[in-house]
């Protein structure tokens, strides 16, 4: 389909606002696949919006990512131009993946073994690409963290999931930090790397 410059602009404007191909198609009267093709031709990154259209776990993840960006405003958000970036943030040469979890209630496994209430963070896809993991253990409402954990890659390398009991009686509690300490830590790393260069 030949696209007039005006029609292309309306598609781009609609996508920048909605971040959803189907909704842009409905709004502009252009089939979603044509919308997609013309956005790509125009150099627009088609990445969607996890906060609005992602799964329940995507929406929880966004809470952690937004909190991290507020705490470390100089971090580069790798999710801005990509739906699921391999690692969430870059700070100079350092990569940081942010995870967020709501507490899972205590219960029993199918084998009858009991477990305590905990936060669970799946890190297996990022252990080879993230230098650090920042884990947000959110309260039940998902609005505030009950704990923030900063874990270096080497400590997390052999894990696919990190589970932290809500009692915080765990080796992972040793990696607890205050949210307002994150910026200071990453600034120190940047300055140190700049001195070495």
| Residue burial 90-125, b: 16+ Cβ < 10 Å; e: rest | ebbebbbbbbbbbbeeeeeeeeeeeeeebbebebee
Whether residue 53 contacts residue 19, with contact meaning beta carbons closer than 8 Å, is answered with: yes
pTM over 0.85, yes/no: no
Tell me: the pLDDT tens digits for 123-143? 877 777 789 999 999 998 888
User: What percentage of the chain exceeds 90 in pLDDT?
Assistant: 35
Tell me, rounded to whole angstroms, the distance of Cα 82 from its chain centroid. 11
- The fold of the 54-196 domain, in CATH, is Trna Endonuclease; Chain: A, domain 1 (3.40.1350)
Tell me: the pLDDT tens digits for 145-167? 999 999 999 988 788 889 999 99
């Amino acid at each position: 389909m030949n696209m007039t410059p005006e029609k292309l602009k309306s598609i781009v404007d609609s996508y920048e606002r909605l971040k959803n191909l189907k909704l842009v198609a409905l709004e502009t009267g252009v089939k979603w696949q044509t919308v997609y093709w013309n956005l790509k031709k125009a150099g627009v990154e088609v990445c969607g919006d996890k906060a609005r259209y992602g799964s329940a776990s995507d929406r929880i993840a966004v809470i952690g990512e937004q909190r991290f960006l507020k705490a470390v405003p100089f971090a580069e958000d790798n999710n801005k131009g990509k739906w699921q970036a391999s690692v969430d943030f870059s700070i100079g040469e350092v990569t940081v993946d942010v995870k967020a979890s709501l507490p899972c209630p205590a219960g029993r496994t199918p084998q009858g073994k009991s477990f305590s209430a905990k936060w669970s963070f799946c890190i297996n896809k990022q252990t080879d690409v993230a230098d650090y993991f920042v884990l947000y253990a959110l309260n039940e409402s998902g609005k505030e963290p009950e704990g923030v954990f900063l874990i270096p890659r080497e400590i997390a390398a052999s894990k696919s999931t990190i589970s932290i009991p809500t009692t915080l009686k765990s080796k992972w509690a040793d990696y607890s930090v205050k949210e307002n300490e994150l910026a200071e830590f990453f600034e120190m790393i940047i300055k140190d790397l700049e001195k070495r260069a």
